[in-house]
Amino acid sequence: MNDKNKQPGYEALLREAGVRITRPRKIILKILAERDDHPDAMAIFRRAVRLDDSISLSTVYRTMKLLEDKGAIQRHAFQGGPSRFEPADGDHHDHLIDLDTGKVIEFHSEKIERLQDEIAQSLGYEIVHHRMELYGRKK
């Protein structure tokens, strides 16, 4: 019934992992939970400052690295630009980036994944992770 605590969120899990839940981290987690895009560090910083203008950009960077290490978020380095982030909700997917708007569309193809495995296999490798991005424009 506590509507302030809508989601268990990552806080509990992070605390579990020995991570201190500080004010900046709370704010960044909140931003990540509410975002529906793929913001970069600067975008997250700007949103954070609106909630607490004492937050620093380095803390954003440090927190993103921490969350990445803990597996709470995923980092994407698209075409040239800065790293962009999204919560790692378990489900793997790839990205289609709209060249005109920068918008990111998520998709998943089990068939392609399987082919990738086959290829790596045949080259004597085991895939640790992969990256597949389609850059295109609406028609």
Partner DNA sequence: ATGCAAATGCAAATCGTTTGCAACTAAGAA
Partner DNA sequence: TTCTTAGTTGCAAACGATTTGCATTTGCAT
**Chain contacts with DNA (rule: CB under 7 A):** 15, 19-25, 40-42, 52, 54-59, 61-65, 77, 81-83
Q: Answer for the pair 38, 81: CB distance below 8 angstroms, yes or no.
A: no
List CB contacts of 23: < 8 A, sequence separation 6 or more: 52
> For residue 28, which of 14, 101, 16 has the smallest C-alpha distance?
14
From the list a second copy, DNA, none, partner contacted by residue 107 (C-beta under 5 to 8 A by kind): a second copy
Measured from the CB of residue 96, what is the shortest distance to DNA in angstroms?
21
CA dihedral 11, 54, 73, 135 (to 10 degrees): 150
Question: Which residue lies nearer to a second copy by CB, 87 or 116?
Answer: 116
Q: Say whether residue 138 binds a second copy (CB under 8 A).
A: yes
Using CB under 8 A as the criterion, which residues of the chain lie in contact with a second copy when the complex forms? 77, 79-80, 96, 98-99, 105, 107, 109, 111-112, 115-116, 119-120, 123-139
